Structure 1
């Protein structure tokens, strides 16, 4: 099954005993885009072409144990993903702008802090970058948040594709992409392969303490993109502001995408692309 962006050829980078799948489109400054857990690089099927059309060389990659990347890794932490990001940038010829969504937002933070020579700018979309404190009050006040967390935790605990798809439906409040049915069907097929939901569960149970420890160590400009209806937080704006507050002063900024859930790049790709291009305009030469 091919999960790469339409028209792009899947390539593989060997790292240790495993392989990371990726594809590249466009010409110009390098942008490396990494999806969150439980999805594939096809989540960037709308955003990647927009950036390529604007003059960037865009690489999208699958996480360990996801999509066309291999299974059987010793571990699946954000730090591991950060090392994979650095290896891919070195392979493609950096430096690069790194875009990380959700789980990979934390990984991108680690990569930026550990390898400032490779990461020129950082974009985190709906990122899990800080350790989360239990917010019982938020769960009681915000039914959208409560329902999202119940489905998300259930999918990880029971390794259930059905509960994961139920979470995704909730995480795309309001408008859904025109190809939603086909996208969900392909993802269902991918996640039902042996071992895949086990990886999702392992990633979901890992606290982003490693990422949070590196927030203050980044040296490049950073953009945090958050949907106003992201169910993963009782107050998405407060979480985005908290991430920026953990960065060195003056490096981070926040853009909120009105009406978007946890996947603003797929729900509102034009708005996310505009925000990213404005952010990158003064930081890269496209």
Structure 2
């Protein structure tokens, strides 16, 4: 589960850990929150076996990558530069293909927007691309939730040290609760939607004693031990850069002009509590789009539906970037 990674140095000196395998066109895998590079332990080997060179990274702040202290070190601009550094080292002659989930999906969308010269195709799981919003996301959730006295998890993540104290008290309990409560297994109310501002993240979350059947026990044990070692400050830094990210993104054409694959779940709370189909909205800003919505799938797309994601991703890769 914890193969020794290669280390790549970003322009600001941060070292990025990646598990590299296979040969052929480069496919770079980018995880989300709270995941690790090993969350691709089923999909990346299948892609390598299909004739591609794969690199699954620990995003800066996670796992075996460096964890800088400065909050602005986790801005999107810096993380895009991390991906470029890995791609330059492993595929200097040809653009890489990106695959991302959750925050990793946002990262790969932004990467292909900012650096279409280095990234020739993009596959995103769970998080769609809708172009640039009208305002920074923190300003939007403040109006919708905080100003109305309602809890929103990203607002809770804003103050350094607050969420860290809760999550680091028992990383395994947090991961168990979080993985279940926004998965396709969750029952209505397992993730409470009516908490007051000032509540803690785990207040009111319901989850069973057993791990979900789709969650590999070895990965869960490794993730629990890893976050107990690293803490969550680096991972949470990504949520504390909405204003910087908004300003930076304004310098680019928001239309994704490269082949794109999107795979979402119809029961994913990240897609407006599982009720919205983002695909029609995406087509205006992602013209070369192949999209699939998996019925009953929650947020953890590549884990909950590993076989289905593999069956969609590898044929798309072969059509888009032949091995």
Name the structure 2 match of 1:33: 29
Deviation at 1:265, TM superposition (A): 0.7
Q: What residue is the counterpart of 1:256 in the other structure?
A: 293
Aligned to 1:123: 123
Deviation of 1:45 (Å): 0.5
Is contact 1:106-1:211 (8 Å) kept? no
Structure with a larger share of its residues in helix: 1
Tell me if structure 2 keeps the 8 A contact 1:78–1:103: no
Q: TM-score, normalised by structure 2?
A: 0.73
- Partner residue of 2:174 out of 163, 178, 190: 163
Q: Confirm whether residue 271 of structure 1 aligns to residue 308 of structure 2.
A: yes
1:111-163 Cα deviation digits (max 9, x unpaired): 112221211110111127555555979xxxxxxxx9xx867766775221343
Query: How far off its partner does 1:217 sit?
Result: 3.6
Matches within 5 A, 1:1-286: 3-4=2-3, 9-15=4-10, 16-72=12-68, 74=70, 75-93=73-91, 94-127=94-127, 129=129, 131=133, 134=141, 157-159=162-164, 160=167, 161=171, 162-174=173-185, 176-177=212-213, 180-194=216-230, 196-207=231-242, 209=246, 213=250, 216-236=254-274, 238=276, 240-241=278-279, 244-248=282-286, 250-286=287-323
State the distance in 1 between where 2:85 and 2:269 align: 32
CA contact (8 A) 2:68 2:234 kept: no
Displacement of 1:187 after TM fit? 1.1
Q: Find the residue that maps to 1:247 and give its secondary structure.
A: coil
Q: 1:169 to 1:152 in 2, by over 3 A?
A: farther
Say which SS state the counterpart of residue 97 (structure 1) adopts. strand
**TM-score when scaled to structure 1?**
0.81
Cα gap change, 1:239 to 1:105, in 2 (>3 Å): farther
Q: Is the 8 A contact 1:151 1:164 kept in 2?
A: no
SS at match of 2:48: helix
Q: Is the 8 A contact 1:191 1:197 kept in 2?
A: yes
Deviation of 1:224 after TM superposition, in Å, equals 1.3
Change (3 A) 1:52 1:65: same
Contact in 1 for aligned 2:214/2:304 (Cα 8 Å): no
Secondary structure of 2:54 counterpart: strand
1:233 Cα deviation (Å)?
2.9
C-alpha distance in structure 2 between counterparts of 1:215 and 1:124, whole Å: 19
CA distance change for structure 1 residues 280 and 128 in 2, over 3 Å: closer, same or farther? Answer: closer
Aligned to 1:140: none
Partner SS state of residue 278, structure 2: helix
Q: Deviations over 1:51-101 (max 9, x none)?
A: 112111111100001011011254112222111111111110131110111
Q: SS of 1:254's equivalent?
A: strand
Structure 2: distance between partners of 1:120 and 1:151: 34
Contact 2:37 2:58 in 1 (8 A): yes
Q: Mean alpha-carbon deviation: is it higher for 54-63 or for 152-161? A: 152-161
CA distance in 1, matches of 2:318, 2:247: 30
